Amino acid sequence: MDNNFPEIRENQIKFEDEYLSKLAAKSSGSKGRKNPETPCPIRTDFQRDRDRILHCKSFRRLKHKTQVFISPAGDHYRTRITHVLEVSQIARTIARALRLNEDLAEAISLGHDLGHTPFGHTGEDVLNELLPNGFKHNEQSIRVVEVLENLNLTEETLDGIVNHTGETEPYTLEGQIVKIADRIAYLNHDIDDAVRAGIIKETDLPEISLKILGTSTNQRITTTIKDIIINSKDKIIMSEKFRNAMDILRSWMFDNVYLDSPAKREEHKAKKIIVELFNYYMAHPQLIEWNAKTKDEPIERIVADYIAGMTDRFAIQDYLNKFVPRSWGKKQEF
Tell me how far apart the alpha carbons of residues 282 and 266 are, in angstroms, rounded to a whole number.
25
The answer to which of 42-56, 141-155, 280-294, 312-326 has the lowest mean pLDDT is 280-294
Inside any domain, residue 332: no
Q: In degrees rounded to 5, what are phi and psi of residue 66?
A: -60, 140
Q: Is 317 a member of any domain?
A: no
Residue 147 clears pLDDT 90, i.e. is over it: yes
pLDDT digits (tens, 9 = 90+) for 38-96: 999 999 999 999 999 999 999 999 999 988 877 666 788 899 999 999 999 999 999 99
- Taking alpha carbons only, the member of 274, 261, 262 closest to residue 119 is 274
Q: What pLDDT was estimated at residue 326? A: 81
Domains in the chain, number = 1
From 219, 200, 199, select the one nearest 209 (Cα to Cα). Answer: 219
In this structure, what CATH number is given to the domain that contains residue 211? 1.10.3210.10
- 1 vs 260, residue with greater confidence: 260
Neighbours of 57 (CB within 10 A): 11
Least confident of 40-49, 61-70, 119-128, 130-139: 61-70
How far is residue 241's CA from residue 251's CA, in Å, rounded to a whole number?
A: 16
Cα gap 194→253, rounded to integer Å: 10
Q: What is the pLDDT of residue 84?
A: 98
Q: What is the dihedral of CA 68, 73, 74, 80, to 10 degrees?
A: 20
Q: Which stretch of 106-110, 264-268, 305-309 has the lowest confidence by average pLDDT? A: 264-268
Contact 131, 304 (CB under 8 A): yes
**3-class DSSP state for residue 318?**
helix
More confident residue, 230 or 263: 230
Nearest to 154, CA basis, from 53, 41, 226, 14: 53
Among residues of the chain, what percentage have pLDDT more than 70? 96
- Measured CA to CA in angstroms, residue 146 lies from 123, 129, 154, 157, 232 at distances of 22, 24, 10, 11, 32
Does 307 fall in a domain? no
Q: Answer yes or no: is 295 within a domain.
A: no
Report yes or no on 322 lying in a domain.
no
The CA radius of gyration of the chain, in Å to the nearest whole number, is 22
pLDDT at 334 over 70: no
User: What is the pLDDT, as a whole number, of residue 329?
Assistant: 64
∠ CA(304), CA(309), CA(315), 5° rounding? 90
Tallying the residues shown for the chain, one arrives at: 334
**Domain contains 131:** no
pLDDT, position 333: 61
Assign 295 a pLDDT band (cuts: 50, 70, 90).
confident
In this prediction, residue 292 carries a pLDDT of 75
Considering only residues 229 and 267, tell me which one the structure prediction assigns the higher pLDDT.
229
Asked if residue 141 belongs to a domain, the reply is no
- Using pLDDT thresholds of 50, 70 and 90, give the confidence band for residue 29: very high
With a cut of 80, say whether residue 261 has pLDDT above it.
no
- The pair phi, psi for residue 41, each rounded to 5°, is -75, -15
Q: What is the pLDDT of residues 185-241, one digit of tens each?
A: 999 999 999 999 899 999 999 999 999 999 999 999 999 999 999 999 999 999 999
Segments forming the whole domain that contains residue 239: 8-114+149-265
Residue 264: C-alpha distances to residues 6, 28, 74, 184 (Å) = 55, 47, 16, 22
pLDDT of residue 87: 98
Task: Look at residue 332 in the predicted model and tell me its pLDDT.
Answer: 60
Task: Give the Å distances, CA to CA, from 163 to 95, 152, 171.
Answer: 18, 18, 9
* Within-domain flag for 56: yes
